[in-house]
């Protein structure tokens, strides 16, 4: 029987990512696994990570620092509904780079047993222009990948019910 101990959940903070996190939490609870939520930030092509920016009322910081701070805050908010659930072990990780390639690299380097990720369900021209991170990861990951499709996008994130 497949019993994952380390589950990677890449997130872009979308409803699909929420559904994936919910599914991963259920698996983690069942198998006593650790869930690592990963957010990968890709800097815009015309900006360098060391470009300085100023946010009202705050000192200048590099674009990379500002993005990491914003991603960290978004990650905290994203994980808040589950982070305090007794019996679940969550970790978070932030990275910079191409999301698809970085997810595959993190999964390979972190000895993960499973990747659980949401899909946006793009088709046609949008898929051609934006690509499919889930497809890339599924084709290149060295561990199983569970994708949660568009039908789950409206799924409310609910902490798993405690075992009695």
Alpha helix (H) residue ranges in the chain: 15-31, 63-83, 99-109, 124-130, 133-140
Residue ranges for the chain with pLDDT beneath 50: 126-130, 153-160, 162-164
Q: In what order do the strands lie in the sheet with 145-148?
A: 89-96, 34-41, 6-10, 114-118, 145-148
* Angle, in degrees to the nearest 10, between helices 63-83 and 15-31: 50
Which pLDDT score, from 0 to 100, does residue 129 have?
44
Q: Report the alpha-carbon distance of residue 96 to residue 48 in Å, rounded.
A: 12
Which pLDDT score, from 0 to 100, does residue 10 have?
95
CB contact at 8 A, 145 and 112: no
Which pLDDT score, from 0 to 100, does residue 92 have?
87
Q: What is the pTM of this model?
A: 0.77
Domains of the chain: 6-152 (3.40.50.620)
What pairs with residue 92 in β-bridges? 37
What pairs with residue 116 in β-bridges? 146
């Amino acid at each position: 029987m497949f019993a994952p101990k380390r589950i990677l959940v890449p997130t872009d903070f979308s409803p699909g990512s929420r559904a994936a996190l919910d599914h991963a939490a259920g698996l983690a609870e069942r198998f006593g696994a650790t869930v690592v939520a990963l957010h990968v930030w890709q800097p815009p092509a015309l900006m360098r990570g060391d470009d300085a920016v100023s946010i009202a009322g705050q000192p200048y910081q590099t674009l990379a620092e500002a993005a990491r701070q914003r991603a960290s805050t978004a990650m905290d908010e994203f994980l808040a509904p589950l982070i305090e659930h007794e019996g679940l072990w969550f970790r978070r990780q932030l990275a910079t780079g191409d999301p698809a390639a970085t997810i595959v690299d993190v999964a390979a380097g972190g000895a993960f047993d499973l990747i659980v990720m949401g899909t946006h369900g793009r088709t046609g021209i949008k898929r051609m222009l934006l690509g499919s991170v889930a497809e890339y990861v599924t084709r290149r990951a060295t561990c199983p990948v569970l994708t949660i499709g568009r039908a789950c996008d409206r799924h409310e994130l609910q902490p798993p019910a405690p075992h009695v």
